[in-house]
Chains A and B, each alone.
Chain A
Amino acid sequence: MSTSNDAQFRTELLSLLPRLRRYALARVATPEHADDLVQAACERGWKARAQWEPGTNLACWMFTIMHNLHIDEIRAKAAQGTDVGAEPLEQLHDHAWTRRLEAKEMLTQVVGVMQQLPQWMREVLMLVPVEGLSYREAAAVLGVPVGTVMSRLARARVELMRRLNVADGEKHWIAA
């Protein structure tokens, strides 16, 4: 890869940092961990930059790298016997979803509710509605069939709205 391509790759990577951090934050528990994950993904992406085809979606490519890195990390920790933390959904069953959210503003609530959802829901919600990826692109990032993305995404959105206490057809939450 030529020098100018390298420079362009680096520039695009820099401009993606806010999105990469946002996605990482939805995957891990702390901002520090998210930044570590983003940095590791950027370093891996840089090493593999020859494999990226200019003109294709670099964000998707980087999300894929981050996804795989995070899975590797979870596996490595599991192998060491380190506690990686229970899935948020399992925690939720213990804590119970009892608090009503009407005191908080809806948009803030959405982020809060997202954090309570299990990882498999959070990641599809981040990739498709938030990041604007197509089902096909999200499937590539997650390494699952398109049908799986669709079924996870539909369940995640129904669950999100249920937890926001929004029933079918209610329109009071529309902020725009």
Chain B
Amino acid sequence: MKPATFSDETLMAYADGELPAAEAAAVRAAAIADPAVAARIELFASSRRLLRESHDPLLLTAVPASLRETVSALGRRPRATRRRQIFSRALAASLLLAVAGATGWSFIGRGGSDLGAGMAQLPAAIVASLERLPSGGAAEIAVGARQMNMLVLASYDHGGGWCREFELDAGTADEAVQRGLACRDGDRWRLRAFADLAVAPPDASAYLPASGSTDLAPMFGLRAPLSAAEERQRLDRERRR
């Protein structure tokens, strides 16, 4: 039997194990009878081995970090699922008062612009950073069992006391960055509002006290952010408390 009896496609499919059993048996018989058929099959089998072995080492080349990071960040910020949050919607609901739905902010107090009745207790680690970090400053803090980054954005005067805007980022794929506004109320800091951010925060270095921050402060009737010098005075005062 001559090789031409079977097409290259058929002999290849035999070598690749893709031929139905009956046809495969016929090819096998032909290969035994005719060395040329066997040689043609061997050509296809060898090409497969060669291709596979020659390309396997390519799998060991390092994936660029930027590509890996982009793929692991897929769905992260814009689609964060917000499973675990420092300030939960439940907190807002239980304390609450007013949720300004359209703005995305949850307000804690007797009304969106009322700074007088905040009740939310802030974790000690957050308070410590509020009393210590200048605007633009960041710190790694532990809240409960969890580590996260806290970034202070800006400071505002508030009837002789002050308020500070900040962000918390757990750095994981399934959590949104949260932004909050906290104000000193006598002996305590109270959380007045918080929101999930739909986008990643800019680099910490982008924040300057005088540059202010967001749409949040005006909702509370807070004016322009404190200057760096004013902010230093407030921080000194905190240290002496």
Contacts and interface: CB of A to CB of B under 8 A. Distances in A.
A128 interface: yes
Question: B interface, by DSSP: helix, strand, loop or mixed?
Answer: helix
Interface residues on A, range: 35 or more
A114 B42 CA distance: 20
Contacts of B44: 154, 157
B175 to A, nearest CB: 11
Contacts of A126: 55
The residue in B8, B46, B60 that gathers the most chain A C-beta atoms within 10 A of its C-beta is B46
B74 interface: yes
Question: A interface, by DSSP: helix, strand, loop or mixed?
Answer: helix
Nearest to A108: B54
A153 interface: yes
A161 interface: yes
Interface stretch (B63-71, B120-128, B136-144, B197-205): B63-71
Given A125-B51, A128-B16, A175-B50, A161 B43 contact: yes
A25 B55 CA distance: 11
Given A14-B71, A107-B54, A3 B42 contact: no
Interface of A: 3, 6-7, 10, 13-14, 17-19, 21-22, 25, 35, 38-39, 42-43, 46, 106-111, 114, 125-126, 128-130, 132, 134-135, 147, 150-151, 153-155, 157-158, 160-161, 164, 166, 168-169, 171, 173-176
